[in-house]
Chain A
Amino acid sequence: MVTNITNFGRSGLADWLIQRVTAVIMLAYTLFLLGFFLMNGDLDFVTWKLLFQGTAMRIFSLLALLSIAAHAWIGLWTVATDYIKPTGLRVAFHLVVILALFAYVVWGVQVLWGA
């Protein structure tokens, strides 16, 4: 067993599964938005605003946002452990990624519930 404390889930298996599930959620969200754009060719701000006023849409959006964060964490963690060999530099990179993702999530919540 190789020990690790900076990866996202509790194990390699958890990371792997989360990576797959979040990918499916992001795909579903993208397809949904694409479908919405196709059905509303002449999209105006009122329709757009109405869409995001529903609780279901907000939950779906937050889910997609959290999925992006988790997916990016695991993905960039993997890239960093492949290519950045000096420990200090690698940990710094993990930190920057995690802080950025955290900021995105908080910002996203603000956007979703702020309107």
Chain B
Amino acid sequence: MLQVSVYRYNPETDKKPYMQDFEIDTKGKDIMVLDVLHLVKEKDNGMSYRRSCREGVCGSDGLNMNGKNGLACITPVSEVVKNNKLIIRPLPGLPVIRDLVVDMTLFYKQYERIKPFLINDTPEPAIERLQSPEEREKLDGLYECILCACCSTACPSFWWNPDKFVGPSGLLQAYRFLIDSRDTATKERLAELDDPFSVFRCHGIMNCVAVCPKGLNPTRAIGNIRSMLLNNAT
């Protein structure tokens, strides 16, 4: 029997959040944490969490499992459980709406701020804007982000200043458009990031790299943005 402890909070009925314990029968199999949550929900139908694709694509079930952020659907119990105990909490640093469901508004606001779309004011070609294989290669390791927020909610700089620091996820996307050969707004994008918070609040702690379920490296992207800012200004 796996000892599972789940963060519970219903603002309509609870004064304070609390941890609720469950005994879950995994039938001796190494199931995913998301499966454990299904079994918990069978015992208590009111327990809330987000999920959709159950295969690490949609990014909706980012959770804190035994202290580490990750996607519940692709995290096997064996990877996180110590001493037969599994503690599941919502992603840290964001307001809790209910149980494991957090309010992602601040996270999305930062994403919106970096203008996550191609800007190109040259006349549109007849068919499409072409890229050389080399130019396209530069987007690898960037475009794969599924916006699960595991990284930003593991970042102390984002915890303290979620309204000013863009955060690892948003900065990874900022860089994705900064180095896209088809984008012509590089200077304007850089000007938006030049203040002491947006980029420079990153202290290179690399929590983001440690938790990204897609194996991406926001710290490297942030370093590259810094170099671009430096080249642009000196």
Contacts and interface: CB of A to CB of B under 8 A. Distances in A.
| A in complex with B | yes
Interface of A: 1-4, 7, 11-13, 15-17, 77-78, 81-83
A13 B195 CA distance: 7
Dominant SS among interface residues on chain B: loop
Contacts of B161: 81-82
Interface of B: 157, 160-161, 164, 191-201, 226, 229-230, 233
Contacts, number: 49
Given A82-B160, A82-B161, A12 B194 contact: yes
Contacts of B196: 2, 4, 7, 11-12, 15, 77-78, 81
Contacts of A2: 164, 195-198
- Which of B191, B195, B196 is packed against the most chain A CB atoms within 10 Å? B196
B160 A13 contact: no
Contacts of A15: 196, 200
B233 A12 contact: no
Contacts of A16: 200, 226
Contact of B233 (A3, A4, A13, A82): A13
Nearest to B226: A16
A115 to B, nearest CB: 39
B188 to A, nearest CB: 11
A105 to B, nearest CB: 22
A92 B198 CA distance: 24
Given A13-B229, A13-B233, A16-B226, A83 B200 contact: no
Contacts of B193: 1, 12
A81 B195 CA distance: 13
28 contacts: A1-B191, A1-B193, A1-B195, A2-B164, A2-B195, A2-B197, A3-B195, A4-B197, A11-B194, A11-B195, A11-B196, A12-B193, A12-B194, A12-B196, A12-B197, A12-B199, A12-B200, A13-B200, A13-B226, A13-B233, A15-B196, A15-B200, A16-B200, A16-B226, A78-B201, A81-B196, A82-B160, A82-B161
Given A15-B200, A82-B157, 7 more contacts: A2-B196, A2-B197, A2-B198, A12-B193, A12-B199, A13-B229, A17-B230
B194 A1 contact: yes
B230 A13 contact: yes
B234 to A, nearest CB: 8
Nearest to B156: A82
Nearest to A14: B233
Nearest to A8: B196
A82 B191 CA distance: 23
User: Would you list the 8 A-B pairs with minimal beta carbon distance, nearest first?
Assistant: A12-B200, A12-B196, A82-B160, A2-B197, A2-B195, A2-B164, A11-B194, A7-B196
Contacts of A12: 193-200
A11 B199 CA distance: 11
A4 B198 CA distance: 11
A4 B195 contact: yes
A83 B160 contact: yes
Contacts of B233: 11, 13
